[in-house]
Amino acid sequence: MPSAEPSLTYPSNTIGRYLLATRPGFLGASAAPVFIGLATAYYTGLAIDPLRALLCLVGIVLIHAGINAVNDYYDAQIGTDAINTERVYPFTGGSRFIQNGVFTPTQMGNYGLLLLLAGGTLGLVLAWLVGPELLMLGAIGLLLGWGYSAPPLLLAGRGVGELAVALGFGVLIPVGADFVQRETWSTLPLWAGVPYALLVANILYINQFPDFHADAATGKHHWVVRLGLGRARFVYSVIMAVALAVLIVGNQLHVLPDACLLTIIAFVPAAVAARQLLSLAGTPARLAPAIRLTITAALAYGLLMTLGLVIAAPGA
pLDDT in tens, the chain (316 residues): 667 899 999 999 999 999 999 999 999 999 999 999 999 999 999 999 999 999 999 999 999 999 999 999 999 999 999 999 999 999 999 999 999 999 999 999 999 999 999 999 999 999 999 999 999 999 999 999 999 999 899 999 899 999 999 999 999 999 999 999 999 999 999 999 999 999 999 999 999 999 999 999 998 999 999 999 999 999 999 999 999 999 999 999 999 999 999 999 999 999 999 999 999 999 989 999 999 999 999 999 999 999 999 999 987 6
pLDDT digit string, tens, across residues 183-215: 999 999 999 999 999 999 999 999 999 999 999
- Tell me how crowded residue 241 is: count the other CB atoms within 10 A of its CB: 15
- Residue 4: per-residue pLDDT: 86
Mean pLDDT of the chain: 95
- pTM for this one? 0.96
* Domain extents in the chain: 14-312
Q: Which pLDDT score, from 0 to 100, does residue 215 have?
A: 94
The pair phi, psi for residue 260, each rounded to 5°, is -75, -15
Looking at residue 1, its pLDDT comes to 64
14-312 has CATH 1.10.600 classification: yes
Q: Write the single-letter amino acid at 172.
A: L
